[in-house]
């Protein structure tokens, strides 16, 4: 099954997809259930109740009629992986421990859902705004010290993630900090595909396209630390909570296509096949069988003092 988080007429809800476009709105068919994905996952048997409530019901709404929110709007943690694919380690020339995963964090408020604009910084702030197409894991059952062999029992489902990064700020100092948490720089969607339907997370492919042109294409068996080992590692120190997200790292880049001139090397980490996102672009992250997360790229507001939150429209 596939479940979405959506907003419609200023109400948030979770929907159960019936086909590629239409969904059953849980606030209509099961108003007693929690209104958020995290709420459903925190409830004992919540996901199963949601799916049962939607069974054989007609379509209430279509994706095109609503705003899609990030799959989990309010996770208590978004654990992200740096340098978790060999090719990405090689192409960046960066070093990383072979023994332990490299972990940093994103804030929920820096991400948007499928179809919503992601935001390219004003050129006076930064120009190296880059995609990272990744497999996202959504925790269902909480746990601590989770053995590798039990780890997948704690997964509710999977989704696509565009871990959009502002390279100048990421490289300002040793910790990535702000460069991985620019305003509306990432996206998470389109839906949660339940673990039973998705199958083995080590046998998938992740593809990233900008304006239809493929820029990343790799299989998840190339992860340095696979999903069960990541769950085991994080749970050594932290009680993994329902709704928590693990964003499993970016694969390497494809080389520039025939006839393309790679961008000039302006210093910092340079990858010839990496293309910067610009306002007007469309960036897609596809995991075949799961779906496509697609976002238009919008320009940020000018870099002037603002006391109201800027929300881009296209």
Closest approach, Cβ 203 to a second copy, in A, equals 26
C-alpha 75/C-alpha 94 separation (Å) is 30
Binding to a second copy (CB under 8 A) within 76-135 occurs at 76-77, 79, 82, 95-97, 99-110, 121, 125-126
Answer for the pair 190, 233: CB distance below 8 angstroms, yes or no. no
Indicate left, alpha or beta for 289 from its phi (over 0: left) and psi (-120 to 50: alpha): left
Residue 150 binding a second copy, by CB under 8 A? yes
Using CB under 8 A as the binding criterion, the count of chain residues that bind a second copy stands at: 59
> Which residue bears the tokens 């910084």?
121
Return the SS3 of 77: coil
Q: Considering only residues 62, 90, 173, 280, which one is a binding residue for a second copy as defined by CB under 8 A?
A: 173
Return the SS3 of 106: strand
Residue 6 binding a second copy, by CB under 8 A? no
Residue 313 binding a second copy, by CB under 8 A? no
The backbone torsions φ and ψ at residue 54, rounded to the nearest 5 degrees and listed phi first, read -90, -10
Q: Extract the runs of DSSP E, i.e. beta strands, from 48-101.
A: 61-62, 67-68, 78-82
Residue 277 binding a second copy, by CB under 8 A? no
Residue 267 binding a second copy, by CB under 8 A? no
Q: Of 30 and 82, which CB lies nearer to a second copy in the complex structure?
A: 82
C-alpha 304/C-alpha 286 separation (Å) is 35
Q: Of 153 and 214, which CB lies nearer to a second copy in the complex structure?
A: 153
Residues that bind a second copy (CB under 8 A): 76-77, 79, 82, 95-97, 99-110, 121, 125-126, 141-147, 150, 166, 169, 172-179, 181-183, 233-234, 236-239, 241, 301, 303-310
């Amino acid at each position: 099954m596939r479940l979405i988080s959506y907003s419609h007429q200023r109400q948030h809800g979770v929907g159960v997809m019936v086909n590629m476009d239409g969904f059953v709105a849980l606030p209509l068919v099961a108003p007693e259930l929690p209104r958020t994905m995290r709420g459903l996952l925190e409830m004992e048997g919540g996901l199963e109740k949601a799916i049962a409530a939607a069974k054989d019901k007609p379509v209430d709404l279509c994706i095109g009629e609503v705003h899609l929110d990030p799959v989990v709007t309010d996770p208590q943690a978004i654990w992200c992986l740096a340098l978790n694919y060999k090719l990405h380690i090689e192409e960046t020339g960066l070093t990383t421990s072979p023994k332990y995963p490299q972990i940093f964090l994103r804030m929920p408020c820096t991400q948007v859902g499928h179809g919503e604009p992601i935001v390219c910084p004003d050129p006076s702030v930064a120009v190296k705004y880059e995609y990272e197409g990744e497999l996202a894991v959504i925790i269902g059952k909480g746990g601590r010290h989770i053995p590798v062999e039990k780890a997948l029992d704690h997964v509710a489902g999977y989704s696509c993630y565009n871990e959009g990064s502002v390279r100048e700020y990421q490289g300002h100092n040793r910790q990535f900090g702000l460069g991985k948490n620019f305003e509306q720089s990432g996206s998470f969607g389109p839906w949660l595909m339940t673990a039973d339907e998705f199958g083995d997370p080590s046998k998938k492919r992740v593809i990233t396209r900008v304006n239809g042109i493929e820029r990343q294409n790799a299989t998840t068996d190339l992860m340095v630390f696979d999903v069960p080992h990541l769950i085991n590692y994080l749970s050594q120190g932290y009680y993994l909570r329902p709704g928590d997200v693990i964003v499993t790292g970016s694969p390497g880049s494809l080389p520039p296509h025939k006839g393309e001139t790679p961008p000039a090397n302006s210093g910092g980490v340079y990858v010839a096949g990496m293309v910067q996102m610009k306002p007007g672009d469309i960036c897609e992250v596809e995991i075949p069988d799961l779906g496509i997360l697609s976002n238009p790229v919008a320009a940020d507001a000018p870099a002037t003092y603002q006391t109201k939150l800027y929300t881009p429209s296209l």
